[in-house]
Structure 1
Amino acid sequence: MLTLLIDDLRSFTDDRAALIARTSAEGIALLERHRGARIDELWLDHDLGGTDTSWPVVEVLERAAFEGAPFDVGVVYVHSANPPGVARLVGTLRRWGYDVRAVPGSPAVWYPG
Structure 2
Amino acid sequence: MNEDPAAPMPVILGIDDLRPLPRATRIARTSRDGIQLLREHRDGYIDELWLDHDLGGDDNILPVVTLLEEAAFHGQPFDIGTVFVHSANPTGAATVVQALTRWNYRVRRATA
Fold-level similarity (TM above 0.5): yes
In structure 2, runs of 5+ residues without a counterpart are 1-9
Moved segments of 4+, more than 6 Å = none
Q: Report the identity percentage.
A: 59
Work out which of the residue numbers 77, 83, 93 in structure 1 matches 2:84.
77
Q: Distance in 2 between matches of 1:42 and 1:68?
A: 20
Shift of 1:18: 1.4
The residue correspondences of 1:23-42 to structure 2 (distance < 5 A) are 23-42=30-49
Aligned to 1:95: 102
Summarize deviations over 1:66-85 as a string: whole Å, max 9, x none. Answer: 00000000000000000100
Give the CA deviation at 1:9: 0.6
Larger radius of gyration: 2
Residues in 2 aligned to 1:28 and 1:42: alpha-carbon distance in whole angstroms: 12
The two structures, once aligned, show a CA RMSD in angstroms of 0.8
Q: Which of the pair has the greater relative contact order for Cα pairs under 8 Å at 6+ separation?
A: 1
**Whole-Å Cα distance in 1 between the matches of residues 20 and 63 of structure 2?**
21
Q: What's the secondary structure of 1:70's corresponding residue?
A: coil
Aligned residue-pair number: 103
State the 1:11 CA deviation: 1.1
Instruction: Give the letter for the 2:13 counterpart.
Output: L
TM-score with structure 2 setting the length = 0.89
Mapped to 1, the partners of 2:31 and 2:54 lie a distance apart of: 10
Unpaired runs of 5+ in structure 1? 106-113
For the residue of structure 1 that corresponds to 2:66, the secondary structure is helix
Alignment correspondent of 1:3: 12
